[in-house]
Every structure is written in structure tokens, then in C-alpha cells.
Structure 1
Amino acid sequence: MGKPKKKDLPDLSHLCVPGAEIAVRATPKAARNAIVQAEGELKVFVTAAPENGKANDAIRQLLAAAMGTAGSNLELRRGSASRSKLFVYTGPA
């Protein structure tokens, strides 16, 4: 997927709170990788296809880059096969 450029992403560092739930509306196979904040929900666009977990991994990495944390600190709690997903931040404060 390539490393996302931090300047192209919103600053989501305020979400780095242990146990914080992050609701995401996913759009796989998009023209470009992007995160848009809208109506209390994050819309995440990734170029990866929704097969074999590739889109979920791409979303996790994009979210992590915007939050300034490692992808391993984000756990997909709900929605692995759905466009509506719920990630939980499990890393340090």
C-alpha cells in the first residue's frame, strides 16, 4: 500500500486514549487513500480491495498514521466484512 503521507491526513491524535472506540465507514477500492471526518463518523477511503482482509489492514494502517501510533495499537472489534467498522485503541495513552 505504501506509507500514507501524514500531511494528507487529518490529525486524529486525540483518539489515542486506551479503550477509545473509533467508528469508521469504509470505502474499499477508492481512487485514493483518504480520511474524511463527517457527522461524528470517520469515512475512510482505501485503494485496497476487500479481499483476504487487505482493505481492513489498509484502513488500520491509515487510521494509525493519522493518529500517530502503530497499527498494532488498533483492534478491529466489529465489522470485518462490513462497511461499518468499529476499531478500538488498545495502545498506551
Structure 2
Amino acid sequence: MASSAFNIRRLVMDVDKAVRGPSVIEIAAAIQTCRGVEACNITVSEIDLETVGTDVAIEGQNLDYDEIVRAIESSGAVVHSLDQVIAGDRLILLGPRVR
């Protein structure tokens, strides 16, 4: 994905790691090495016998999705899904969808 063509400002991903795998601090440190990253929030969302599921939100300027995925994977975790992308000159925050 060539993300340099537009300004990605926020990414939200579902990231899984092994229970005995990298700590959330190690994953955050890997993400912080990527260009444009200004802030990273990692929240544990579920734990089972072997896997820890986390919600990862990253904000910054001109974020490079591919670089961030490589950093997460090099730490020992895996991106399960990309759940939100905000791009442009400013952030647009939406509330939960009601049906």
C-alpha cells in the first residue's frame, strides 16, 4: 500500500501477540521507531490461553502503514485487521454507529 501519496493521520488495528510473546511496551517501542508516529495507544482487549488480543491506535503525520506493520511484526506480534484509517488535513472522530 503506497501511503505516501496522502496524509494518513490515524490508524486503528487489531493486533495479536502470544501470551509469552513481546510485551505491549515492546510493541509500542517498535511502533514509535516509525516515521511520523507521534502517539501510540495499545489496549489489551482479550486474553486466552495462548493469545493476547490488543487494540492499537496510532496517530501522527504521513503515517506509513506498511512500515508500521513491519515494525509490529518484527517485534513478534501480528496485525489481524486494519479497523480504521483517518487521512487528510485534520482528524474526524466518529462516535459508535447506532442501527
TM-score normalized with structure 1 length: 0.41
Larger radius of gyration between Structure 1 and Structure 2 = 2
TM-score normalized with structure 2 length: 0.39
**Is the strand fraction higher in 1 or 2?**
2
